[in-house]
Amino acid sequence: MDILVFGHNGQVATELRARSGIGAGRGVQITALDRAAADLTDPAACAQAIAGHKPDAVINAAAYTAVDKAEDDEATAHAINADAPAAMARACADLGVPFVSISTDYVFSGDGTTPWQPTDPTDPKGAYGRTKLAGEQAIMAAGGTAAILRTSWVVSAHGNNFVKTMLRLGAERDALTIVADQIGGPTGAAEIAEACLTIAQTLKTEPNKAGVYHFAGGPDTSWADFARAIFEQAGLSCAVTDIPSSDYPTPATRPLNSRMDCSATTTTFGIARPDWQASLKDILKDLNT
């Protein structure tokens, strides 16, 4: 199966590239597009890339993820997170091939304590969430076979993420203060990549399974407790003190509730919710090799 991926050096795109060829017995061939091959601020170029490659499926693993910067640059975020995926989805619909696009829990309000269902009302509180929601809506309106996979707290051995930041700070300091009232599921980029491939391959033969799905690591935890687990697994003696989000103000509001109900993903595709402790172990192993 020939799969075209938008994104190249991002966390999930890197994991997808690693699965090209025999990739865990999948037999998929991944072509990952960097900025030179597909400018995400140019939706027409994205559509042309799909038309030119004529792949069996497309995965959009690219996004404008600078949550705070998006507050002052919503136009660029909208171009990348909404206009580009819309063009991709229409191009896939024209070719009759499945399209899988990664989205985020930021499309919700972040209120309450109940895990978010894919069918729950959306209510983004910032520019990043608004642009990702606009992308979701445009994808579903394109009329093709498409799946949106919302995820949260993405971590890996690649790029910039919470695990790598904690490892750096934990080695430099004896103690840290970490936000403890934001609750969610840390999710390994490797597991997201596997989920995207499973969904793309399934949609090729079962297009009726198109729709919106959730995928996040479990069990739910706080950033502070996640940091403690990182230090414990890495053998770092760095003490963590819990603080509320109000003690760490940011330009963009972070959701307090990032819990996600992933049961529909398991029922529909047979994809179990990943254990983030196991994902963390794999990430640390990758970083030490």
Selection from 160, 153, 156, 162 nearest residue 104 by Cα: 153
In this structure, the number of other CB atoms found within 10 A of the CB of residue 247 comes to 11
The answer on pLDDT for 53 being more than 60 is yes
Instruction: Give the pLDDT score at 21.
Output: 83
Is 78 in a helix, a strand, or coil? helix
Residues 6+ positions from 289 with CB-CB distance below 8 Å? none
24 pLDDT above the threshold of 80? no
Tell whether pTM > 0.85.
yes
- Residue 25 has a pLDDT of 57
| CB within 8 Å of 123: residues ≥ 6 apart | 108, 109
How do the domains of the chain map onto residue ranges?
Answer: 2-159+187-216+261-276
**64 annotated active-site:** no
- Both tokens of residue 14? 């890197």
CATH of 2-159+187-216+261-276, one of 3.40.50.720, 2.40.30.10, 3.30.1480.10, 2.60.40.10: 3.40.50.720
**Hunting for tokens 């690649």 — which residue is that?**
158
Instruction: Tell me the residue type at 270.
Output: G
145-178 tens-digit pLDDT: 999 999 999 999 999 999 999 999 999 999 999 9
Q: Distances in Å between the alpha carbon of 119 and those of 128, 183, 186, 217?
A: 20, 20, 22, 19
Q: What is the mean pLDDT of residues 10-20?
A: 95
pLDDT at 233: 98
pLDDT for residue 23: 46
**With bands split at pLDDT 50, 70 and 90, how would you rate the model's confidence at 289?**
confident
Reported as a single tens digit per residue, the pLDDT across 267-279 is 999 999 999 999 9
Average pLDDT over residues 255-273: 98
User: Treating both helix axes as pointing N-terminal to C-terminal, what angle do 276-287 and 223-234 enclose, rounded to 10 degrees?
Assistant: 50
Confidence of residue 35 (pLDDT cuts 50, 70, 90): confident
Active-site hit among 64, 106, 128, 213: 128
**pLDDT tens-digit profile of 82-116?**
999 999 999 999 999 999 999 999 999 999 999 99
* pLDDT of 80 higher than 80: yes
Residue 22 has pLDDT above 80, yes or no: no
